[in-house]
Amino acid sequence: MKVLFAILCALAIAAPAKPPNILWIVVDDMSANFSCYGEQAIQTPAVDRLAEEGLLFSRAYATSPVCSTFRSAMITGMYQNSIGAHHHRSGRGEHRIQLPEGIRPLPELFQAAGYFTCIGSGLPRHDHRSMPTTKPKRGKTDYNFDWDAKIYDSHDWAERKKDQPFFMQVQLHGGKLRGASLKTYEALGKRIKTQWRFGPPSPQQKVTLPPYYPGDPILLKDWASYLDSVRVTDWHVGHVMKRLRKEGILEDTLVVFFTDHGISHARGKQFLYDEGTHIPLILRGPGIPTGKKRKDLVEHIDVAALSLAAAGIAIPAKMEGDDILAADYQPKQAVFAARDRCGEAADRIRSVRTDRYLYVKNFYPQRPHLMPSNYKDGKQIIQRLRELHAAGKLDPLAEKLLFSPTRPAEELYRYRDDPWQVKNLADDPTCAKVLKRLRGRLEEWIEETGDPGPETPEVYVLEIEDQMKATRNPAARANYRKNAEGYKRWASEGK
């Protein structure tokens, strides 16, 4: 009997651990405006608790500051440039994009390992906007390459087989909840009081804007509404965590919370400054230390690698993301980001960030920062900034950073001392060696990743025509076409 007991004990010790569930919470258009990251105007108890029970990364960065390119990189663990998916909302019409040989979307890898793959809101009775629903559906994908919808089994993990591990993406509307006009701000404010019962909307007097945005009532109202969207996101996160606890699977689940880029604003989303690329990243679950913080540089594509490793799935040899939880992991000396065409707005910007410096390369310096953009110009905050600029009511910093007719070819910031990146040191002779070193490191990365750069004129036309077909508003289509003609003219002029 003793011998049998000993054998059973040995088998129990040797038995492989049950694969954990992997649950990502991915939030649209939101910077790290959570209490655990230092935000003081609002409280975010659910995300704060996640950080208290897990590991918070204070210096996580998106490799791209716009939805589709970020998500194309996220779901493959690759830089979006490496896979040719670096232009926003591309490869969906006549022009098609195929993933390179050996690169597969993560859900395929999880399915092959026996996981149930799903993407939705994480709450059966609420949608991605945290609104009540009786018709739950799959969540946002937005990939810039051909892919098979069968890589997702369902919108929710409830449909999996008994004891089957799942890979779930909870996709939330995040900063998009605030909309783009006073009407949408007011609508969100009403829901704050009536649906979520948070009390009054976030007060404008508590808002602290970046120094290059004027303290104008419209901009203050917009930022307050954005903070309300953060509160709604926190509410949703809290209820997803409550569901995991209620189902008894929380401790078997690796939860990864992050956003897809920073706040949508004039110098945020679509640009490579902290406002556009710095994101929250919090992990909680099996093997994750409790109440810890890491200050090393990480990239959002690392989430793919660490998730596979946590599930016991081999990380593909070509994957550029790193398992930042590995025992032998060596912290990165630099992280990278890229911005390319967004809508009709053709641009090419690259950056490299080290422990102390952010270097930005503008490949089209003869174009202004706030270039014509049907998407951005549809926002009331951008319209208001343009009105203030036309009336001569912006201060010199805002005029310089937002409305200069040209941009510097190179930008260099000591970003930890200059959190909003307003003092460009590229022409400072004392920084010449740093500038040369980072310029060279960025050139190496461009070479290493096989960065394809801009689209050909022919592909630009195909992509623009495809996006105009998807734009229902006639006025928006007309503006989109007018802007596109302007970009084609600039390109022909070498601008």
Domains and their CATH numbers in the chain: 20-325 (3.40.720.10), 339-456 (no CATH)
- For the record, the structure tokens of 143 come out as 């990939």
Q: Which residue, among 30, 106, 37, 48, has the nearest Cα to 301 in the 3D structure?
A: 106
Q: How many helices (DSSP H) and strands (DSSP E) are in the chain?
A: 13, 12
Distance (Å, rounded) from C-alpha 152 to C-alpha 418?
Answer: 43
The pTM assigned to this predicted structure is 0.95
pLDDT of the residue at 343: 96
Can you give the pLDDT of all 495 residues of the chain as single tens digits?
444 434 434 333 333 478 999 999 999 999 999 999 999 999 999 999 999 999 999 999 999 999 999 999 999 999 999 999 999 999 999 999 999 999 999 999 999 999 999 999 999 999 999 999 999 999 999 999 999 999 999 999 999 999 999 999 999 999 999 999 999 999 999 999 888 888 888 889 999 999 999 999 999 999 999 999 999 999 999 999 999 999 999 999 999 999 999 999 999 999 999 999 999 999 999 999 999 999 999 999 999 999 999 999 999 999 999 999 999 999 999 999 999 999 999 999 999 999 999 999 999 999 999 999 999 999 999 999 999 999 999 999 999 999 999 999 999 999 999 999 999 999 999 999 999 999 999 999 999 999 999 999 999 999 999 988 888 888 889 999 999 999 999 999 999
pLDDT tens-digit profile of 178-211? 999 999 999 999 999 888 888 888 889 999 999 9
pLDDT of the residue at 201: 87
Q: Which residue, among 62, 397, 379, 413, has the nearest Cα to 210 in the 3D structure?
A: 397
Q: What residues contact residue 212 under an 8 Å CB cut-off, 6+ apart?
A: 267, 397, 398, 401, 402, 420, 422
pLDDT tens-digit profile of 304-343? 999 999 999 999 999 999 999 999 999 999 999 999 999 9
Give helix 380-390 / helix 217-246 axis angle, nearest 10°. Answer: 160
Task: Give ∠ CA 405-86-340 in degrees, rounded to 5.
Answer: 5
pLDDT of the residue at 467: 87
Q: What residues contact residue 234 under an 8 Å CB cut-off, 6+ apart?
A: 34, 44, 45, 46, 47
Spatial strand order in the sheet of 358-362: 335-339, 349-353, 358-362, 410-413
324-333 own/partner pairs: CB under 8 Å, 24+ apart: 324/296, 324/298, 325/283, 325/287, 325/288, 331/296, 331/297, 332/296, 332/297, 332/298, 332/299, 333/297
pLDDT of the residue at 337: 98
Phi, psi of 395 (to 5 degrees): -75, 165
Distance (Å, rounded) from C-alpha 81 to C-alpha 66?
Answer: 13
- Sign of the alpha-carbon torsion through 63, 66, 68, 74: positive
Distance (Å, rounded) from C-alpha 17 to C-alpha 359?
Answer: 44
Q: Residue 215, CB half-sphere, CA atoms under 13 Å: how many?
A: 6
pLDDT of the residue at 197: 84
